[in-house]
Structure 1
Amino acid sequence: MAELSTLARPYARAAFEFARERDALAQWSEQLATCAAVSADASVAKLLDNPSYTHEQQAQALNDLCGDATGAEVKNFVRVLAANRRLGLLVEIYALFEQLKSAQEKRVDVEVISAFDLDDATTARLSEALGRKLERDVQVSTSTDSSLLGGVLIRAGDLVIDGSVRGRLNKLAEAMNS
């Protein structure tokens, strides 16, 4: 995956800078999401990887499938990707674009996994505390995993906070084995 990120990064950065200069981050985000979702479909991915089609035909097919959901600028971006044989990177480009957009907006999506359902008050307090720590606007999504035994596992981008009982037991086992 690191190789895909490396290949996709300049395209994501170029799209981000272009959209930011035109104050169109939200529109580009939506349109890139559409392109990424369409290109991720198995039958479309097969067409985009088929060397018997020219890059113009591949770009045209993807743009036709996206239809009116994408504007002229994004359609041109798809043509540039096709010309450089990078249409297969659209999902990764979209993910990197969203990271750049979140950093620009000082926003972070946080996933909280707990052993039991968290009530709204606890989620709000957790969101507030994480917002202070990360100095960002925090969007919290919660899920449950009964294998954690207790505590929570928090993921915010590259940051992982493992406050679960399972995580603590694993650390204890490693300490005892070394």
Structure 2
Amino acid sequence: MDLRGASADSLRELTTELGSALRAGSHAEQVAGELFTVARLLRDEPSLRRVATDASLPAEPKQGLVTQVLEGKVDPTTLDLVRKAASLRWTSSRDLPDALERLGELALVTSVGNDADRLADEVFALSRTVTANPELRDALSNPARSRADKEQLLDRLLGGKVLPATLALAKQALAGTYRTVTSALENYRRVAAEARNEYVATVRAVTPLSDGDRDRLVKALSEQYGREIHVNEVIDPTVLGGVRVEIGDDVIDGTVSSRLDDARRKLVG
């Protein structure tokens, strides 16, 4: 989800309003679910979406339409956010439901309070599970299966084992907004970290890091990037030794396998 221009400005304004309106707990979780539902409605109803984003119309009639459709059906916080969104400018009409979906993701992160790191870890673990199990990945992406059927599968897999917000995000990953379920989960992991002003680092090593090594790595990365770092570890026998750190598009490769590859290239050269 990459919003640009006026849409990016509008999302920032809505994010600030969301932060002021929400509190941790069930209220935030309810608002998140409603924002996901409204985003789906706007995608399914192009005429409604076009009117709500028509820059040639004054804000009042657009907000009136939103109120007519949603009043009494959603939490007042949700209604206020969607009304506000209808008053803002959007580069593309499709950016409005995308922005509301992002607000829903942020609301779910808010709902867990101090468990945001646990949420990020659970989403990462689920992503690894889906990646490592082709049958599960195919079941979640199979267009012949209904969304309700896929959600029941997630209920059986995750119910009672993860935070409710983690399960909610797993189900939202089925919406198809992102290219794949794993792409959606990776995005949610970044959203959870960014909501806490953190960066996400994926660390690949042949064995789990000791507490001391992990602390030193986090400290060094935090100093380098000027922000707290949330680390997820991946045990990868192919690295042989050392670690490979991935932060966004940045890769810091200190693995033995990387050094061996460098040596091979020099010998061939």
Please classify the TM superposition score into its range, dividing by the shorter chain length: 0.5 to 0.7
Q: Deviations over 1:97-147 (max 9, x none)?
A: x77x949x7633322222222222221121122222223223222222223
- TM (norm. structure 2) is 0.41
Counterpart among 39, 44, 47 of residue 50 in structure 1: 44
Matched, 1:138 2:229: yes
- TM (norm. structure 1) is 0.56
Amino acid in the other structure paired with 2:213: T
Amino acid in the other structure paired with 1:148: V
Q: Deviations over 1:17-48 (max 9, x none)?
A: x44xx973976xx68x9369836xxxx75x54
Give 1:74's aligned residue.
Answer: 81
Amino acid in the other structure paired with 1:76: R
Secondary structure, counterpart of 1:138 in structure 2: strand
Deviation at 1:160, TM superposition (A): 2.2
- Change in 2 beyond 3 A, CA 1:87/1:52: closer
Counterpart among 30, 35, 38 of residue 36 in structure 2: 38
Higher relative contact order (CA 8 A, sep 6+): 1
- Change in 2 beyond 3 A, CA 1:122/1:49: same
Q: Aligned-pair RMSD on alpha carbons?
A: 4.7
**Take 1:127 and 1:109, find their aligned partners in 2: how far apart are those partners?**
11
Q: Percent identity?
A: 20
List gaps (5 residues or longer) in structure 1: none
**Take 1:25 and 1:53, find their aligned partners in 2: how far apart are those partners?**
29
Secondary structure, counterpart of 2:233 in structure 1: strand
Give 1:115's aligned residue.
Answer: 206
Return the structure number with greater strand share: 1
Secondary structure, counterpart of 2:217 in structure 1: helix
Pairs aligned (count): 159
Deviation at 1:170, TM superposition (A): 4.1
